Each structure stands twice: as C-alpha cells, then as structure tokens.
Structure 1
Amino acid sequence: MLANWKKRVFPLNRRQAVFAMLLCLVLAVNAVPALRASALYLITDGEATTAVELAEPVTADKLIVVGAADGSAELRFESGHKVTVTHGTDAVQYATTRTNETADALLKRMGISVGPMEMVKVDVSEPEIFIEIAASFTYYETLTEPAEHATVYTESYKVPKGETQVWQRGMDGTREVVYEVVYADGELVSRQAVAEQNNTSVTEYAYVGTLVKEAQAGDTIASVVKNSDGSGYLLMQSGDALHFTGSMEVKCTAYTTGYDGVGTITATGTTVARSCVAVDKNVIPLGTTMFITSGSYTYGMAHAEDTGVRGAKIDLFMDTYDECIQFGRRNSVAYFLD
C-alpha cells in the first residue's frame, strides 16, 4: 500500500494505521477555515477521513504536503496495488502502482491532471486503492468529545417546594460525535453533527419538591395519598402538595359578623376573616391548621381561632350572610395540616 510502512502499520487496526501514516508521511495536519482547491486532499481508511492541505510552493513530484516549509513530504505507494481512479463524470481508469511511486507521479502516468477547483480523495481501506477527483465531497468523521451528564427531574410531594434532592448522582463522560463534512470547490462548506453514539456519561436523577405549608387561594384537591397511620398528602390541582397528620369527618355550618350577636373578635383575640373557623376546643385544639372540603365545595385553608360549637362540628366564617345561607349545613372532611 504505502511504501516502507508495511511492517510498522501491520500490527495496528485500520483506523490507527491510516492516521499513523498520515502523521509520518504528511508531517502535520492544519485545520483551516477555508482550503484552496489546489491544496485540498482527503485521505480515508473507510472509517475515518482526514483533510490535508498542500503546502506552497509545490514541486512537481509532491502531491500531499502539509506544514512542511521545504515541501519535502510526499505520499508513496507500495508496488503491485491496483488503483481505480474516477475523475468527475469521466470513465473509471485503472493502473497498478510501481515501487516507491508517488501519488502525483501515478496520476501523471495515467494522464490525469487535477483542475484548479477540484479535490482528490484517496481511499486506502482495501488492498485496492481508490482515487476520486471531484469538485465536491461529503464525508463523515467521528470525534470523541466531553459529554456532560444529563439530569432528570421528577416532582416529589415529600420534598419542600423550592428544594431539589438528588437520589442518584450523575457523572460526566465522553461521547463519539459523527460530523458530516462537506467540501465544495476546495472550501469547507459545512460541518455539522448528525449523530451521537457511545455516550459514557451517567444520568443524574433528582426530586423537585412540591410540598407547601399552605394552599393557594382557590386551590382544590386533585387526589389524596393516604398512609396506613392515617396521615398522608393532599395533591392539589395547582401542582402543590400539603401534608396532613390525620383527618376527621365533620358537620360544617357557616357564620358571619352582624348576625346572632357575632362580633369581629375571636375567642383567641384575632379579627375574624375568611379561613377563621369556630371549633369545639376539646375535639379540635385551638390553633389547629386544616384544609376543609365538602364534596364539590372547597372552603380551603382554615385556622381554629374561635369557639362556640360542640362535638365534631366546624363553623366556617363567610364574608356575607348570603354565602352562609347558600352553604347551609354540609358533611365535610377536615385534614389536619402540619
């Protein structure tokens, strides 16, 4: 294939071999944003492709020279290899390499000249050498790049809102990125990632909390998660969650100020307002925070601040007398919150 490299290259796999030859025969690889047509050559081993630039000035017996000021590097083939050359739309031509023949000499011997806006692709993936000359080429290269780990977040009603708890640590790794590279008229037209494979990073998993101390105004219960001890979680329509230590079925009535001698100051000294409720302090201790729902009607957050009822009953403060009449008396559930 390439003269004087058979013994050194033979133990390597094909991908390693072609780049070992490129490093030694071509001396260096320049990554430049725009490559002149007369200077661009693509060498491939069937798995990876390398673009190299022809140094100037160029002597007649040199085909590929990169980064060598004196233009002394050259690409030579071993003897006896069949060569297939395709030049644009011209018919395929065949030849056999001679001992220490340079690629430039081979093309000249076949009567082929590379035009000013053409490029040369040399494929050494098989014992037979394939050379293609064209104005545009598309090839694919695979690079190993750092890969940051991804993080998957899952909502948890057991974690306080605003907090994140990692339950499986992630780890950065590497990935193989396949790039589609397009050259036309000797210049790099585009280079974009088209595939990714062999990502070694480890995904991180974390909980995002939804647990709150108080429900939003007007929020309602979407579902209830109960534990065997009677505690549980209220999963709200808003996405928030409330933890309750227990629950009780109660009879609820409604009251407001200005009727039946009801004033504006509660038994605990607070001013009446919505969410203020009256309880039997022997059944529900004063200061208890609750969430109260009555089937299709949700009273919402409630604080035991007043007295005046007996047993498993709760009197709900309403803003108007009409609201009290509409509510009437309802079977309800009071969830006792933390």
Structure 2
Amino acid sequence: MLMLFVSACKKNFSSDQFEDGKLVVLAEISALDTVKIPIGKTIKVENGSLIRFEKVNDATVTITENNTTSWVLQPNYSAQYINNPTSVFTNKKRFKAGASYRIDINHPTLGLVSATTYIPLLPRLNRVDTFGTQFNGKEVLGAKITWRDSLDLDEYYIIEAVKELVKNNHFFIYRGKRYSYDEKSGKDFYETVKSTPGLKVMTDTVSLNKYTRLDLFTEDDQSENAKIDKLSNPFRRIFFLDHFFNGETYNTTIYIDKQFFVDPKQKGRVRLQLKSVSKDLYDYLKLYEKYKTDFGSVPTTQLVSPTGNVDNGLGVFGGSAKRERLYYFDVLL
C-alpha cells in the first residue's frame, strides 16, 4: 500500500524545514507489498523562502535484501503516480517479513544516498472485537484489539486506520474469456448469452490507490500517545512499546471516528491495521504525531524535519509488517 507523499499537487514548505538540493526518501516498506519507493529532491523557490519537492527520474536506485540479493528499481510513469509530488520507483519483487533491506540511490548531481532498515516478523494478532459507541459525544467504532508479543525482542507497535477508496468492477466469463459487464458492449453481449448454464455476473472490488486517514482515540495510558497529547484528543496513530508486556498477551481498545465511513462520493472500505515496525520508522512517525501531521508531509509551523535514517539525504526508510481487518460501511453496487 503506497500512502507516502500522496498529494494532488507539489507542496511548498518554509525553507528552514528542509535543506536545499537534497534527495528525500519517505518510504515505509511493508512485508508482502511490492516495491514502491517515493523519491524526490528539495529545491528552494521564491527567493529561497520556500522549499518545493520535485520528481527525480534520473537516479539509479537499488534495493538489497539480507546483504545478498539486489534489485534495480525503475521510475514508474503510470497514471496512478502522475500527481505524486515525487517520483515513485518500483519493482515487481515483494518485501519479506524478518528481512533486512538497504537502499542505494545514486544521482548524477546530488550524489549517493543510502539507508538500511529491518522488516519485523508479522505481529501475532489474536482477535479484534468491534462495537458501535460514542467517545466524547462523537459517533465512533470501538475496536478491542488483542495480540501476543514476542519474548526477548524489543518490538514497536502502531495501530492505524484508513479508508481505502475502491470501485466494483462487474464481469462475466464466457467460454474462458472475461467480459466487462460495466461496458455497453459487454452488457449487450451478456443479454445474448445469459441463458448459458452457469453463466453469471461477478463482482471484483478494485482499489483506487487513494486513502483517507481516520482519526483514532484511545484511553490507554500505557500507550505512548499519553506522553504526546491529552488522550481526549484524536490521533492519527496509536503507539505502543512492549516494555511492560514483553512476551505476553496485550489488549487495548481504540475508537475510530466514523465521519468518513459512509460517503456516496468516495466509497470504500475501512482498513484497521496492527503493525510491528522498525525503530527508525516508529521514532519518525511518533515525532510527526506530536505535531499532528501526516506521514509524507510537513506542518505549516516552523517544525524542523525529523532526523531520519537516510545518509546524505532526508527522510526515512523504515520497515513494517501488518495484520489488518477490513470493514465495509458504504454500499458498493
């Protein structure tokens, strides 16, 4: 799932937030996902008062897995990334849980940038029990999440929820060939063969690769959020260290704002995720949470960019492994 640097236009930020002329990597690499790495560069504009992200298509990008196997990534020019403020470099390979990764970016003028990270093992999610309720007078979906921590490992957990925009494609298969029922030609052809035994219109739910982050609430004072802000306030992510439940089963209840659950203009499904993440990603996202800003963007205040793990560049290259539950509230026809 690519949720990094998603934007309809190039974003401008005050010049003290980022250095000029630097490569920027903001990548959460997740187990089982295909390789998608957003890479851009910073350029000062308006007499140096603003920084703008621009695409970088002339870099050589390599990913190395477990210090052995390497893949070369290519800039992806497909329509789904055309509005991203950065370039997106891709490869059909998939990331693995429990593996280490290194990224090397060689740019003809900005030099060599590198970073390393580790994708943890998949978290052991036991169950999720959901219920409708209110939190501070707001209609929310409650979710009691129970998982088992690994013994003798420092683990970093993040809970988050997004609404993924989707559409339903309708189709049928006749004599081994797939036809679109959404197109007039396909629908007309179906009318001529619909008496064929076993023929039926089927539905395929397809992601539009667009996401809306959903506000979360927690009353758990063991969460790191208790150190960030008042627990009565909404968060984008809920953070947990395993220091106080190492090797044990832990449960917590979070509440998801239902504001965007049903939207006839933006139909989709809710993805509730429990992630085990690398320390570098955990620290980076927690600092952004403190300033109420989303991953891949910078607050409009004078916040200096968090220190990441990208050598000779800016941003973060972090690993995650997730378990998730999908919930449908929109009526998808």
- Structure in which a larger fraction of residues adopt strand: 2
Give the TM-score, by structure 2 length: 0.20
Higher relative contact order (CA 8 A, sep 6+): 2
Mark the structure with the bigger radius of gyration.
1
